[in-house]
């Protein structure tokens, strides 16, 4: 599976956002990870729709939209229209998983399903073949800069095994506390899409482009 880096936009310097995006492009990241929060599913807010709308024509980077919202079906058409390339919803937020998969596909977007840290991988069993990506949360959703949850490594391993058994090659994305200590474990377990946030390229210790290039080498 090819390794991809999805830079977490919510961790970027909002006061210089466009120049941060340029640095991410030059730093070779594949996607912008766009966290959408509703204050219900998670007790926080993050990136807004107007920002996405303004950013879309400014960059060729793929928009990897992570919906942390209750009732995601209400918002999928909106995020499709805003230029999402991948739309990922949390399995804990809906009783209509198949309907949501169809809705995302109808808008010709890639489909991701996210699992919070306490959600078992077995929930994926009956719809796994219809997905493009599984997002295994490695922190509780909702906040940047949290401690990595080590049990998530086993979950990645289980999901990759399920995929091998079903002869499917989906992306497995990991999100939260992804950095030099955690990437080797997760890569070995079968993850191939890494969300780069404050634990890696937005640590504030070095220029974002330099950090992104170094993180790419490391992954």
Locus of tokens 């295994």: 136
Question: For ligand DX5, what does the binding mask look like between residues 153 and 172, x meaning CB under 6 A?
Answer: --------------------
Question: For ligand DX5, what does the binding mask look like between residues 51 and 90, x meaning CB under 6 A?
Answer: ---------------x------------------------
Asked whether residue 21 is marked as a ligand-binding residue, the answer is no
**146 touches which of ligand DX5, Zn ion, none (CB within 5 to 8 A by kind)?**
ligand DX5
- Whether 71 is catalytic is no
- Quick one: CA dihedral 69, 15, 179, 65, positive or negative? positive
Locus of tokens 């399920």: 162
Closest contact distance (angstroms) between CB of 81 and Zn ion is: 21
Nearer to Zn ion, 127 or 143 (CB): 143
Cβ atoms of 135 and 66 within 8 Å: the answer is: yes
The CA distance from 13 to 47, in Å, is 13
- Whether 140 is catalytic is no
The CA distance from 156 to 102, in Å, is 25
Which two three-digit tokens encode residue 191?
């993850």
Asked whether residue 145 is marked as a ligand-binding residue, the answer is yes
**197 touches which of Zn ion, ligand DX5, none (CB within 5 to 8 A by kind)?**
ligand DX5
Locus of tokens 């994305």: 173
Which two three-digit tokens encode residue 79?
């995020």
Determine phi and psi for 52, rounding to 5 degrees: -60, -45
- In this structure, what DSSP letter does residue 85 have? S
Closest contact distance (angstroms) between CB of 43 and ligand DX5 is: 11
Q: State yes or no: residue 23 binds Zn ion (CB under 5 A).
A: no
Binding piece for Zn ion, criterion CB under 5 A, among 56-64, 90-98, 146-154, 169-177: 169-177
Active site residue: 10, 35, 38, 171, which one?
A: 35
The strand pair at 31-37 and 62-68 is best described as parallel
3-state SS class at 48:
coil
Closest contact distance (angstroms) between CB of 202 and Zn ion is: 13
Residues in touch with Zn ion (CB under 5 A): 35, 66, 175
Instruction: Just list the catalytic residues.
Output: 35, 175
Binding-site residues for a divalent metal cation sit at: 33, 35, 66, 175
């Amino acid at each position: 599976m090819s390794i991809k880096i999805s830079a977490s936009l919510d961790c970027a310097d909002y006061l210089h956002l466009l120049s941060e995006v340029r640095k991410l492009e030059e730093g070779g990241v594949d996607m912008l990870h766009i966290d959408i929060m509703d204050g219900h599913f998670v007790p926080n807010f993050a990136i807004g729709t107007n920002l996405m709308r303004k950013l879309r024509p400014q960059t060729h980077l793929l928009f990897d939209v992570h919906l942390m919202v209750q009732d995601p079906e209400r918002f999928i058409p909106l995020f499709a229209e805003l230029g999402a390339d991948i739309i990922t919803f949390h399995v804990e937020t809906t009783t209509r998983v198949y309907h949501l998969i169809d809705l995302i596909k109808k808008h010709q977007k890639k489909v991701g399903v996210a699992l919070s840290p306490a959600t078992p991988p077995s929930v994926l069993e009956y719809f796994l073949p219809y997905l493009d990506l599984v997002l295994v949360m490695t922190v509780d959703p909702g906040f940047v800069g949290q401690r990595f949850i080590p049990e998530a490594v086993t979950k990645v391993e289980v999901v990759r095994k399920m995929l091998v058994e079903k002869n499917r090659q989906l992306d497995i994305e990991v999100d939260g506390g992804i950095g030099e200590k955690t990437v080797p474990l997760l890569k070995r377990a079968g993850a191939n899409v890494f969300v780069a946030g404050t634990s890696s390229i937005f640590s504030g210790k070095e220029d974002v482009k330099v950090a992104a290039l170094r993180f790419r080498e490391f992954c």
